[in-house]
Amino acid sequence: MSIPRDHPRYHSLMQREKLAHGYEQGIVVLEGLIAHGRGEAFDYLIGETTVEPARRAIRAAAATLLLASSPVISVNGNTAALCPEQLVQLARVARAKLEVNLFYRSSERARRIAEVLRRAGAEEVLGVEPEAEIPNLSSQRRLVSERGIYSADTVLLAIEDGDRTEALVEMGKKVIAIDLNPLSRTARRASITIVDEVTRALPLLIQELKKLRGQSRSRLEELASFDNSANLKAMLRHITRRLAELEP
């Protein structure tokens, strides 16, 4: 990789490099690159920083994960290429399982993603040979692990399409989504949406989990109670304000 460190868009260019490399390795699909581009556009509008509503969502997400009895972190090609170590660390701190779940699924790609996570330190990765199905979902994302997403009470996902979020919520699960687009169906349907870039949000979530561990159940319940649509409105207001400020 030959991107100079002092390049003003160093971080963004590095992300692209990681995804392009993931594509060459058969982890990321071309459609994933397009999804990343949509995310980048929203990040530009947000200001490429974690704003206050996202911090509030991160706190509620951490409390929700600590209250969960069977949390699962859903991993796709983009997140595996961008931040495998962070995903593994999150799973450890949240005592959650890791499961591969893909829209453009092939056994080979699922196996490769599981391998990336194992190299990053994961002991167990579910979803390579899924044996259960999410009801009312026709995409390949319906294929899940019985011990993982199927029986989870809380699922954390990032860079996701709206259909599965909806189906998981319909199954009665709490869904924590990381999605830069506050207008997406995922953002609107999830129980808690963290409108932030996934590699910025995960370290903050890990930090918050460590901070909140040891808090009483009633305190965690207080922190976990969250009005997602009010928070999305606050995100949209932030973007609107920012655009007004930037007006030439």
How many helical (H) and strand (E) elements, i.e. helices and strands, does the chain have? 11, 8
Residue 94: its H or E element: helix 84-94
Which residues are within 8 A (CB) of 244 and not within 5 positions of it... i.e. 6 or more apart? none
- Which residue in 74, 89, 101, 181 binds ligand ATP (CB under 6 A)? 181
Tell the smallest beta-carbon distance from residue 67 to ligand ATP (Å): 24
Q: Which stretch binds ligand ATP (CB under 6 A): 33-41, 61-69, 125-133, 233-241?
A: 33-41
Q: Which stretch binds ligand ATP (CB under 6 A): 67-75, 118-126, 176-184, 240-248?
A: 176-184
Q: Write the DSSP string, 99-115.
A: EE--SS--HHHHHHHHH
CA distance 177 to 243: 25
**Beta carbons of 36 and 80 less than 8 angstroms apart:** no
Q: Is 36 in the site for ligand ATP (CB under 6 A)?
A: yes
Q: Is 22 in the site for ligand ATP (CB under 6 A)?
A: no
CA distance 11 to 3: 10
Find, among 187, 183, 207, 203, the residue nearest to 45 by Cα: 183
- Which residue in 63, 197, 208, 209 binds ligand ATP (CB under 6 A)? 197
Q: Is 95 in the site for ligand ATP (CB under 6 A)?
A: no
Q: Is 193 in the site for ligand ATP (CB under 6 A)?
A: no
Backbone angles phi, psi at 152, to 5 degrees: -65, 150
CA distances from 121 to 46, 140, 221 (A): 32, 27, 31
Size of the residue set binding ligand ATP (CB under 6 A): 18
Q: Is 168 in the site for ligand ATP (CB under 6 A)?
A: no
Comparing CB distances to ligand ATP, the nearer of 145 and 181 is 181
Tell the smallest beta-carbon distance from residue 106 to ligand ATP (Å): 17
Q: Which amino acid, residue 200?
A: R
- Which residue in 66, 90, 100, 180 binds ligand ATP (CB under 6 A)? 180
- Which residue in 27, 28, 35, 73 binds ligand ATP (CB under 6 A)? 35
- Which residue in 68, 149, 159, 224 binds ligand ATP (CB under 6 A)? 159
Q: Which amino acid, residue 116?
A: V
Q: Is 198 in the site for ligand ATP (CB under 6 A)?
A: yes
- Which residue in 27, 28, 29, 39 binds ligand ATP (CB under 6 A)? 39
| CB count in 10 Å sphere of residue 185 | 15
Interface ranges with ligand ATP (CB under 6 A): 35-36, 38-39, 42, 158-159, 161-162, 178-181, 184-186, 197-198
